[in-house]
Every structure is written in structure tokens, then in C-alpha cells.
Amino acid sequence: MTTHDATVRRDATDLAALDGLIGHTIVQGIPVLHAPRPGDITAGLLFRVGRADETLATSGVTHLVEHLALHRLGMSEVHHNGATANTYTLFHVTGGEDEVVTYLNDVCSALRELPMDRLETEKEILRTEAAGRANGVNHRMPLWRYGAQDYGLSSYDELGAWSLTADQVRHWAETRFTSDNAVLWITGNQVPDGLDLTLPNGSRIPVPTASGALPVTPAHIHGEEGLVVFDAVLRRTTAAIVFADVLGRALFKDLRQEGGFSYKAEAGYTPRDADFATLTAYADALPKKQDAVVGAFVDTLARMRAGRIDQAELNSARNKSLKRYDAPDLGATLLPSYALNVLLGHRILSPEQHKTEFRAVTVADLREVAREAWDSGLFQVPARGADWAGFAPAPKYSSSAVTGTLHPSLENDDVTLVIGAEGVSLLVPGGPVTVRYDACAAMTTRPDGARVLTGLDGFRVTVEPTLFRDVTAERIAALDAAVPAAAVVPLPARDPEGIPRPRERETPVPQTGAEDAGEAVSPSLRQLPVWFRLLVAAEVVFGLGFLIAVVQASDSAHQAWIYLARGILPAVLMIRLTRGAYLSAKADRS
């Protein structure tokens, strides 16, 4: 039996539970799910490939394929779009039967032969899209939980939009956008005639295994002001779906209705892969109430961990889920979720099986989910942290530093860059930040010598030759030779004004060598204007006169002290004050 045959047989077995509700067949090697719905036809062509399948250096390649595949369709009366998620890519369309067939055929035709003449233009469009994209409330959480790989890549820019080549993009399409790695769902009593879904053969790509960048959970990180976010990884169960709803309702009640701390307080549940989902809960807060929001948030979670959940809370959330199955055209409504479950390999349950599981959820089940959420939790807090609540601080520093050449910062005596044979480290007062070459997710390069290395664990070291001493072209060349070529992302030249320069110190740094040490005087007389040097000379003359006057004043035959009091002493004081004011003004300007 071939891999394709095994995949088809497994899909058919999984879908058997839906007989009578959803029809299923195979069109040119692609499983097709269909169910009737009046009106226009809606279809979704899903591929099991997304951002989590990429590397940081090639991130954006899936999104780029999606853009290229849709380019030829241009503006159309039919509603269509594409989307790239962590584990899948979707091509979506709504319209008449002929319009839907044409759209799907054109997408598959473009995937077979991508318009590579558009590559650079579409890369620029991706960069523009990213620049205007708003970040979600939990955009930093994947980075801290997973690092700069698989599910953590959603926190990063799509670096591949700078450097991907035509060969890389073409190979990605040929190996990921295949008939064996796709599922089509479409509303209608039957599959319409005229479909040509011809795609290369391949295999169903397994869902990526999640990495881990957190050594211990529950953990906390510091985030932006005015926002508290809780993130957890849960097993995909019916009880977990209900818990997310119960938690959202409890946060709204505790933080808004009763506490008056927040305007928004919500929770949501999103499938991550075949076996796990992500729970995300958040609440906003005014600066003066941030500590109160954190405390109330923790109290709500603690109440649920202890099982103090009213049966009414459970009933309300459960009834909301059960109402979904009362919708007209239920089969068509459930098509997208069933197709995604087939693609990810998640279990397929009929509506009756789902409803049975919802009715069986108990308060004790929710307590167990609450404990699971707490144990895997990552808490983003804006203020003083959450150590007091049992959340360990997420690591800000690496466990060790590399050995190599030392390059002191030209701005801060407490910071040193180390470039070694195994990696680079930045030594800062709190500890080292290290990226090892064999665990480098990506290194961006600039023609001026700047390098930014990001490790698989998410730690980042920036090498700016202008900000560290003795970072020569030879040291940069040695660093470049040590980083794997697949991790290198060349970036364009920066505007000269954009290249950082060290901030001026109050005292100039002496040049190397003992012969220069005596020149580290600020400011030297040679740096002062002529008029001020004349004032200094006059001060010396008046100073000598002052000494003579003191000597003469000791002789009772002379009345020099009178001249001293009336003329010489005020002049000396005036010059001293003028000189002090000048030096102070000069220091402020520097």
C-alpha cells in the first residue's frame, strides 16, 4: 500500500462517523468534504503547511506562496481570499458554482507553476503588510514559550521576505502544496463538475512538534502597560473548550462587573495541533489599577483551581456550546472544522458524540483543566511581577557565556561583547546573553558590518561594529564563516544616519598607549576661545597682585589692603564666576 493510499484510507475511516451529515469523496487525490446549504457556494482548500513549518531565516515562504498563487486572480466580483496560519494555509471563495470552480482551478494551476516574475514585488508587499499589521494581545507569548522556532515564529517578522530565492519558493510549493497534503470542503449536495485540482504528489506533512523555551512553568514575563495576559497549553478536550468559556465569564464578572478594574476581560480557546490547544485570557487596566487587576486575575484562577465553580457557570457555558448544534444547515456550518481536523489528524466526532461529551462535563473536570492551565501557564504582567503568586520569572539571560575575544562597549563600561569560536555572548550586569552558532535560528547582515544573531531559544545578540571596541572586519568575517549559511539573511544597506554611533562621554576615552594618557583632559586650554584665554591670563596677573597685596598689607606702613578690597579682590571673583559659568555651559552643550 502506498503512502497516498494509506492516507486516503485513514481519512475515509475518520469521516465514517459523519455519514448522513457530511458527504466525502476524493477528487484527483484530494479528500473533499461537502454538505448542502442554500444560496452561493462556499469552498475552502486547506493545505497542511504554515508558519510553524518554516525556520526563522525562511519565515514567510508559505505566505509568499499564497500571495503568488492568488496574483493571477486579481480583482474579481467573486469574494475570495487566502490565509496563512501556524499549521495550515487556506484558499477561500464564495460565489456561484462556475465562479468557485474557476477559482479553485486557477489556484491549483498557479501552485503548479508559480509566477516567479512577481517574486520581488510580492516580497515587498509582504514587508509592507507586516509594517501595517497590528499586534494581538498575546503576540509576545509564543516567542517566550517556544523560542525562535515552530510555534514561536508567529512572534517574529517574516525574514524570508528579504532573502528567499525563486528556487526556495518553488521547492516549498512543490513539496508542501501537494494533493496528499490537502483537504477541500465545499457547500453543496455534491461536488460540482469541472474541478481540476491537479497538484504534485507528495505526502501528508506531520504537524510540527512543539519546542520549549521555558525551563519551568508557571512563569511570568513583564509586558506592556495596561494589559495583563495569561497563556496556557491544554489538551484538546471538550472540558477544555467549556473551561475557556467559564474562565472568560468569570474574569468579566470579577474584574469588570464587581471589581471595576477592567473594561475588557476575556478568554479564548484555539486548537494548536492534533492534540493540544492554546488558552489565552486577558484583561486591560488603567496604570493605577494594574496591581489590582493582576491580583484579581490570580484570584479568579485560584478559585477555579480549587474547584469553586458554580454549577450555573458550567451550565451557562455548556448551553452556549450545545446551541451551536441547533443551527440550520449544521453539516455545512461544521465543514471547516471537520476539514481542519482531518488535515491535522485530530479525532472526528459526530454532533451527537460531541453533545454527549458536553453534557458529561462536570465541575470536577473544569477543576482539573484549571490545574492543567495553571501548571503550563505563562503570565504577562505590566508591573511588579508575579513571583508572589507562584509564577517563576522567565529567564532573561543564558545559562553560560562563550569564550573568545573581548570587545568592550564604547557606551557602557558594564557591557562587553564576546566573539568566540562557538558563538557570541553579550556580558551585561544581570548575566550573559548567548547565541551559539550551531543553535542560531537566523543571522541578519548589513553591508556596514552589523550582525543580529537570534538563537533557537529566542535570545538575541546584536553586533554593531561602531558600538564595540576592535570589532574589525576580520572579526566579522570569522563570525560569518561560523554561522550556517542556511541561517544567514542579508539585509539592504542602511542610511548612514541610521548607523548607530556611541554616545559622547563626559570625559573622552584615552587612546590606547601610555603616551596618550596625558591628553585625556577636558577641556584643554587649546580648546578654549581666545577671549577666554585672555581672561585666564588676567586672572593670573590679578592673582599675583593679590599675593603681593597680602604681603604688603602685613606692613602697617602700607595701605594696600584698601586697594585689595576695592579693586583686585572683586575682579578676581568676577573672573572666577565667569570661568565657572562658561565651563558649565560648555558641558551642557556636549
Domain residue extents for the chain? 3-187, 219-393, 404-494, 525-589
Cβ atoms 230, 381 nearer than 8 A: no
- Return per-residue pLDDT of the chain as tens, 590 residues: 455 555 555 565 667 768 788 999 999 999 999 999 999 999 999 999 999 999 999 999 999 999 999 998 865 667 889 999 999 999 999 999 999 999 999 999 999 999 999 999 999 999 999 988 878 888 999 999 999 999 999 999 999 999 999 999 999 999 999 999 999 999 999 999 999 999 999 999 999 999 999 999 999 999 989 999 999 999 999 999 999 999 999 999 999 999 999 999 999 999 999 999 999 999 999 988 999 999 999 999 999 999 999 999 999 999 999 999 998 899 999 999 999 999 999 999 999 999 999 999 999 999 999 999 999 999 999 977 899 999 999 999 999 999 999 999 999 999 999 999 999 999 999 999 999 999 999 999 999 999 999 999 999 999 999 999 999 999 999 999 999 999 999 999 999 999 999 986 544 333 333 233 233 333 334 444 555 556 656 665 566 565 555 545 555 555 555 555 555 555 655 666 555 555 444 444 33
pLDDT at residue 568, as a whole number: 59
Task: Please give the model's pTM, rounded to 2 decimal places.
Answer: 0.82
Distance (Å, rounded) from C-alpha 204 to C-alpha 401? 41
pLDDT at residue 20, as a whole number: 81
Common-topology check for domains 219-393 and 404-494: no
Question: CA nearest 453: which of 165, 51, 58, 148?
Answer: 148
For 304-322, letters b (16+ CB in 10 Å) and e give bbeeebeeebbeebbeebe
pLDDT at residue 519, as a whole number: 30
Pick among 3.30.230.70, 3.40.462.40, 3.30.830.10, 3.30.70.1290: CATH of 219-393 = 3.30.830.10
pLDDT at residue 573, as a whole number: 59
pLDDT at residue 574, as a whole number: 60
CATH class of the domain at 404-494: mainly beta
Distance (Å, rounded) from C-alpha 477 to C-alpha 407? 16
**Residue carrying C-alpha cell 448544534:** 325
Cβ atoms 378, 218 nearer than 8 A: yes
Distance (Å, rounded) from C-alpha 558 to C-alpha 111? 109
Q: Distance between alpha carbon 260 and the CA centroid of its chain, in Å?
A: 31
* Class of residue 495 by CB neighbours under 10 A (exposed 0-12, middle 13-18, buried 19+): exposed
Cβ atoms 581, 559 nearer than 8 A: no
Report long-range pairs for 165-174 (Cβ below 8 Å, ≥24 apart).
166/116, 166/119, 168/58, 168/61, 169/61, 169/64, 169/65, 169/68, 169/114, 169/116, 169/119, 170/114, 170/116, 172/61, 172/62, 172/65, 173/65, 173/69, 173/111, 173/114, 174/200
The torsion angles phi and psi of 82, rounded to 5 degrees, stand at: -135, 160
Instruction: Quickly list DSSP for 78-95.
Output: SEEEEEE-SS-EEEEEEE
Distance (Å, rounded) from C-alpha 277 to C-alpha 271? 4
For residue 95, give the C-alpha cell. Answer: 460565489
Q: Distance between alpha carbon 61 and the CA centroid of its chain, in Å?
A: 17
Instruction: Quickly list DSSP for 252-292.
Output: IIIIIIIS---S-EEEEEEE-SSSEEEEEEEEE--GGGHHH
pLDDT at residue 210, as a whole number: 96
In 3-state terms the chain splits into helix, strand, coil percentages (rounded to 5) of 45, 20, 35
The torsion angles phi and psi of 476, rounded to 5 degrees, stand at: -65, -40
pLDDT at residue 512, as a whole number: 30
Distance (Å, rounded) from C-alpha 546 to C-alpha 567? 10
* β-bridge mates for residue 474, sequence order: none
CATH number of 3-187: 3.30.830.10
pLDDT tens by residue, 133-149: 878 888 999 999 999 99
pLDDT at residue 15, as a whole number: 74
